[in-house]
Amino acid sequence: MAEENEPVEEAFENYAKAGRIAGKVLGFARAEAKVGARLLDLAEKMEAMVKAEGGSVAFPVNLSLNEEAAHRTPATDDLLAIGEKDLLKIDAGVHVDGFIADCALSIDFSGERSKLVEASEKALENALAVMHAGVPVRRVGEEIQKTIAASGFRPIENLCGHSLEQYALHAGQEIPNVARGDYVLREGDVFAVEPFATNGKGTVIEGSFCEIFSIEEPRPVRLPNSRKIVDFALTQCGGLPFAKRWLEEIVAQPFLNLSLADLVKQGILRPYPVLVEEGRGAVSQKETTVIVERDSVKVLV
């Protein structure tokens, strides 16, 4: 983005293209996600479609189930399939030259959590309705919190929407899911807005499953396999998050696990464990990406 938070015309065009691709991919995923479908197959099809449509994958497809709120992407040997009682969150990111569109939806296969899904959808709708330049993010969070509470559920307090910049998925500012925050929206800001609703405690904690990583602090490394991973993260991903399964063609097991653990220990890589609702409540999510305008927002997905 240009200085003074005013994206140049090319940036707008790239955001718009990323949004169009993301919308196609999310629509494809909604149709493909059926009981019995393997999560690995769905993730790989979605990521392949992003590339076929002329975009790049901004982060590994997240396919989080039930009490999981985010950060589950399948492992290479993952046999997990969608069950008839599952609540699935599909979260996908597309970038064009680093300009990112981030989007998500929830599918309730049981039919028993439709009101929970509707709560996050309505919260997003109401949040977008109050967003424009000059609005404090606290006001947006208040609208999300109020809408979800009115449906009989709780927002996830320690998850939030986030500002986007070129090759920066979390660029520093937040759209909270509760009434907090001092930042005031500015014309030209780009934000992913993502209400999470739950019938649990309203907070998430880290689980043990982790298949997503990103560069935290690039530094020279001595071991060849570690160098391959760092080079891949920087040159192929531009510093954006990547999946362990993307690396298995360049670093064989068990060396891959050892190298990842070493890089995390050194602070060179950041791990993204699956985030689980603290009370093991079910979680729904709805997300889109917007550009803030003078009197409204431009919705990209």
Do residues 163 and 190 make contact, with C-beta atoms less than 8 angstroms apart? yes
262: exposed, middle or buried (Cβ count in 10 Å: 0-12, 13-18, 19+): middle
User: DSSP secondary structure string, 167-214?
Assistant: TBSS-S-EEESSS----B--TT-EEEE--EEESS-S-EEE-S---EEE
Residues belonging to the active site: 91, 102, 162, 170, 194, 287
Residue 297: closest CA among 167, 183, 143, 140:
140
Place of tokens 């996830």: 156
Measured in whole angstroms, how far is the alpha carbon of residue 127 from the centre of its chain? Answer: 18
Q: Cα separation of 288 and 301, whole Å?
A: 6
Q: Cα separation of 285 and 69, whole Å?
A: 8
Measured in whole angstroms, how far is the alpha carbon of residue 48 from the centre of its chain? Answer: 17
34 CB neighbour count, 10 Å cutoff: 11
Q: Cα separation of 191 and 209, whole Å?
A: 28
288 CB neighbour count, 10 Å cutoff: 26
